[in-house]
Amino acid sequence: MTINDADVPALTIARIERQLAGGELTSLELTRACLARVEAIEPRVGAFLTVLADDALTQADAADAARGDGARGPLLGVPLALKDNLCTTGRPTTCASKILADFRPPYDATAVARLRRAGAVFLGKTNLDEFAMGSSCENSGFHPTANPWDLARVPGGSSGGSAAAVAAEMCPGALGSDTGGSIRQPAALCGVVGLKPTYGLVSRYGLVAFASSLDQIGPFARTVEDAAILLEAIAGHDPLDSTSAPIEPPAFRRSLGRPVAGLRIGLPKEYFIPGVVPEVESAVRAAVEALAAQGAEVIELSLPHTDYATAVYYLCATAEASSNLARYDGAQYGYRTPATRNIIEMFTRTRTEGFGAEVKRRIMLGTYALSAGFYDAYYLKALKVRTLVRRDFERAFEQVDVIATPTSPTPAFKAGEKTADPLQMYLSDIFTISANLAGLPGISLPCGFTAAGLPIGLQLIAPAFGEERMLQVAHAYEQSQEWWKRTPALAL
């Protein structure tokens, strides 16, 4: 069988696995078709910062040869995309920032290395808000990314490039990172599946740090099953990451297909507030009713410290960003301003010229919160409230198995609509931030569309290391609906 561009949208990772194993398809044919679609669609979407066509074709050819020699695996020969804050040996890793425009890491991130060992094919590096700081993918230092469902709207952020690439059917899966919703929010706005694992389940080694106590790497895919396949490949202990959990992750796919009858689903009242667009609330409540129709019990509950989560996040995350981004000073690697008179001028001009406006804003917020006289009043207090947010979830999970909420209070908004008001942009992540503060796993999956044809996302949150139960519920809902089968009308 020879596959062409028109066949690509129908292929999920699970189906590709079967067709490659059955000899109906080769990785080289599939990779060429994906690259052809990238070439045709990418100028309108802007999902990629770097397309690695030659690398991809070489990797696909090697995968076909390995399969011919008897090698097997669910990702052998499968084309994927990588968010451009994941280190890739000898290939650009820019974090969408001019300060790292010419950076080529000497090593792979652990998640990338695990995919490489599994035989995955890397199509390229995807766009993001600079250093993963943003909710719209408009803060990239190179170009914005458009939402494939409506090119005048944003794809969400910060992993907007990965979400858009999967939604536009340029690849069947991708990796992103999630610090306050940066996988789940763009997944919701682009109508795909996005999963943030429990903090520590996936190694952060080689992920360029934004906020080290919040960052997690996770997958984008078209289906829950595909997300489980990708999570299986990248999860597990890594001695190179001191925060990596010393556990053996389960085979996540084994939970798929189990009935949800008897499971308890929590609906927190703080996530159904006046700021939620009515179409979004209706779709999410209908999704919960669909699970109830399968025998799940729905329990209303309260997460009382939710109202403080956004403020806590923007103190904790910016404080850590201030520390992590101090290394970009032009002294060792990355951009250095030319011809300065002394080292202080070099530091100042390098950072002024190399960082974008949003990154500077967050560095200044974090530096202020950590400064003498304000540390106790702001940062230390935020850490204490973060503990209260985590305890809210601990108490909630004594009553329920998973929590269901909207992923985003609104569907995709128009490009430029919120750039002049940082607070409104920050509130785009109001329903995703708490899971990061508590270190919990969360998944977003399509649960409907607005009258204007924009995707709506359902978020499920589970206890720490409860990915199996979360995937079980997500898959049960997905298979009872057909939202995931819809694709944007992007003609070649």
Residues marked active site are found at 83, 158, 182
Cβ contacts of residue 143 below 8 Å, gap of 6+? 46, 127
- The secondary structure of the chain, three-state, reads CCCCHHHHHHCCHHHHHHHHHCCCCCHHHHHHHHHHHHHHHHHHHCCEEEECHHHHHHHHHHHHHHHHCCCCCCCCCCEEEEECCECCCCCCCCCCCHHHCCCCCCCCCHHHHHHHHCCCEEEEEECCCHHHCCCCCCCCCCCCCCECCECCECCCCCCHHHHHHHHCCCCCEEEEEECCCCCHHHHHHHCCEEEECCCCCECCCCECCCCCCCCEEEEEECCHHHHHHHHHHHECCCCCCCCCCCCCCCCHHHHCCCCCCCCEEEEEHHHCCCCCCHHHHHHHHHHHHHHHHCCCEEEEECCCCHHHHHHHHHHHHHHHHHHHHHHCCCCCCCCCCCCCCCHHHHHHHHHHHHCCHHHHHHHHHHHHHHCCCCHHHHHHHHHHHHHHHHHHHHHHCCCCCEEEEECCCCCCCECCCCCCCHHHHHHHHCCCHHHHHHCCCEEEEEEEECCCCCEEEEEEECCCCCHHHHHHHHHHHHHHCCHHHCCCCCCC
Q: How far is residue 464's CA from residue 421's CA, in Å, rounded to a whole number? A: 34
- Determine contact, residues 436/430, Cβ cutoff 8 Å: no
